[in-house]
Structures are given as C-alpha cells and as structure tokens.
Amino acid sequence: MSKNFSRREFLKAAIASLGTIGGAAASARLVDGAGAAPLAQGGGDDPDMGGMMGPHGMVGVVGEVDHEANGFNPSDLLTDFDYGEVSVVNGQTVRDYEFVAINKSIEVMPGIEFPAWTYNGRIPGPTIRCTEGDLIRINFFNGSDHPHTIHFHGIHTHEMDGVPGAGPGLIQPGESFTYEFEAEPFGLHLYHCHAFPLARHIAKGLYGAFIVDPKGGWPKVDHEFFMGMAGIDIDFDDENDFYMVNGIPFHYQMHPIDIKVGDKVRVFLVNFLEFDLINSFHLHANFFHYYPTGTSLTPSEFTDTIMQTQAQRGLIEFTFKHPGRFMFHAHNTEFAELGWTGNFNVTE
C-alpha cells in the first residue's frame, strides 16, 4: 500500500484490502456519521444502537470482535489489577507473577486479525499492582519464537533492567528468567519488552502497567480504572492504522463505562504509543486533577486535556456533576476517528 494513501482514506475506503494484509476476512463495515451505511443510520449515541457512532458523528465500526477468542475484554481490563501471588518473607510482602511471552492472533477490529506478541496472551499485559517496598518477582518464560525481555520502569539494579547486555540480556525462546526488585518509587509506571527493534516489540503488544501504591494508599475513590493508550500498525509500515485504549479500538464507544453523578473516579492513564510522538486525553463536560507519573499526592493541574509522549503516564481524578453520556478521547482528532474514543455513561 502506498504511503501517500492517507490513514483516513485507508480506514474509510480501503478496508477490504485489510483482509489481504491481515490475512483475515474483511467483514468489518466502517461507517461514518453521515450515515453512509444503512446499519449506522440513526445510531448516534442511542444506547440501543450500542453507541456505534460517536455523538458528534464520529467514525465508528459495526460489529464486535470476538473477546472470548482474544482472551480478554477491554471492559474487564479497566479494573483487572493483578496483585500476584502474595507471601510474606521476613516481614516483607513478596509478590510473585508468572509472565509468558506468547505469539497470538488478536481480532482488533471485526474481521481484522493482528499477529500480536503478548505477555500472557493479552494486550496490554497484566496490570501489576503492589505497594511501595514490596518485593516483586516476575518469573518470565519466553514461549514465543523471538527473543524478548521485560524492562520495568522504576528503581532497580543493572542486572534487573531487562535490556540486552544487562544481566541475562535477551531471553531466548524456550528460556526463562526471574526479574526481582523492590517496588519504588510509588506512582504509575510501566513495563515493556526492550529487544530491538524496540518500537516494533512494543507496538506488537509487549507492554503493560506497573502501579505502585503509596504505603498509606491513595485517597479513597469510588472507581479506579486503568487505561493504556496505544496504536496498531496493521501493515507494519511503522505508521499506526488504529488507536485505542486497552487493546481494542472504539471499544468504550460501543461499551460506555458506567459511573454515577458524584462518584469519585481515578484513571491510571499510560501512553504506550509507538510511531507517533504525542498522545492526549480529553474529557468532555468536566475538568480533572492531573498527577503526572502519580509520584506526588498533590495534583499539578486542573484541566480537561493533557498530553503524554511515549511512556509518560499520570493519574486523572474527576467527579461528574451532571448525568448523561460524555465522551473521552484523544484530542488529536485523527487518533479519535481511528479508534481512540470512548464514553462515560453517567446516571443519577
């Protein structure tokens, strides 16, 4: 496919060719707000239509990926915090995790399969959650056919850095290694494969969040949601063709997140995006407190839009004053139209 062909056109007009590229039947039917496809007409933000189109006539998708075959559902990933297998050794909490690198075909859009590389068969990988000072042990087995690593953000020894040349370096197919370190500092961090070419290994799906709670915990809220922003480069030309939160484009547009007026909401937002420099998060009809990297209990900003470059992350906290369906999305319109858009469904 020519690079002159814009991604918008790619999405709207050339969806059939994706079947060839992805090796899958192109059963996806893309629609836009103009109502070009009969199925989408009148959809709008009518809950009965599953919110297939954005309230502002944003591009949407008809149909649903097979979450069961994928092995994960983005609606579940919002609150799927993994505390590991817990034991206490000499008064210290120890958390053991089993990580396996697996090649896996993921249906990212209806009918479009992406040959992903995953930790534990899902994108993003498990959301590790612990408390500062805990001992974290990641028992990593490479069950795929490429060398991989797990590189954690945080403070640890050279040997545990998960990069080629440090400690065990690349973990070869069929080999294993246990990464071990104390969780610090408190905040919102991430992990990802650090084999080269780095962008390709991350964009294929080898990434996840690493949440280190402060010793006394964060202030209490009604909901905590993890959102990992990323992209999908379907045709491997080092440009993203879709954008999303938690693995599947348009998911929270079709499946809004239910909250109530007055609920305190905390979002752990991480930008795993490769190939594009800047990502963003915009919340409609509301403002939020932003805690960059989650390493301070005092917010740095009260705003409705923040941006993050690669590996930047932060906590977002807000409460809705009014009921209704409210969008959240990348304020970069192109990203939003290519999948990075969702809705909160706020009820009394």
Beta bridge mates, 257: 344
What mask of x and - would describe binding to Cu ion in positions 172 to 191, judged by CB under 5 A? --------------------
Environment class of residue 99 by beta-carbon count within 10 Å: exposed (0-12), middle (13-18) or buried (19+)? buried
Longest dimension (CA), the chain: 65
Q: Please report whether residue 201 would count as binding Cu ion according to CB under 5 A.
A: yes
- Residue of 288, 271, 291, 286 lying closest to 332 (CA atoms): 271
Instruction: By CB under 5 A, name the one of 30, 53, 108, 195 that touches Cu ion.
Output: 195
Which two tokens mark 109? 């859009």
Which of 171/338 has CB closer to Cu ion?
171
Which two tokens mark 74? 């983005």
Instruction: By CB under 5 A, name the one of 193, 245, 248, 257 that touches Cu ion.
Output: 193
Taking the complex as a whole, how short is the minimal distance between the CB of residue 202 and Cu ion, in angstroms? 8
Which of 49/198 has CB closer to Cu ion?
198
Taking the complex as a whole, how short is the minimal distance between the CB of residue 13 and Cu ion, in angstroms? 33
Window of 56-64, 121-129, 285-293, 308-316 that interacts with Cu ion by CB under 5 A = 308-316
- Residue of 306, 312, 274, 279 lying closest to 293 (CA atoms): 312
Which two tokens mark 270? 């991480």
Instruction: By CB under 5 A, name the one of 122, 129, 148, 156 that touches Cu ion.
Output: 148
Taking the complex as a whole, how short is the minimal distance between the CB of residue 148 and Cu ion, in angstroms? 3
Question: Do 285 and 322 touch, CB atoms closer than 8 A?
Answer: yes
Taking the complex as a whole, how short is the minimal distance between the CB of residue 185 and Cu ion, in angstroms? 16
Taking the complex as a whole, how short is the minimal distance between the CB of residue 208 and Cu ion, in angstroms? 11
Q: Please report whether residue 203 would count as binding Cu ion according to CB under 5 A.
A: no
How far apart are the C-alpha atoms of 345 and 50, rounded to whole Å? 12
Footprint of Cu ion on this chain (CB under 5 A)?
A: 148, 193, 195, 201, 206, 311
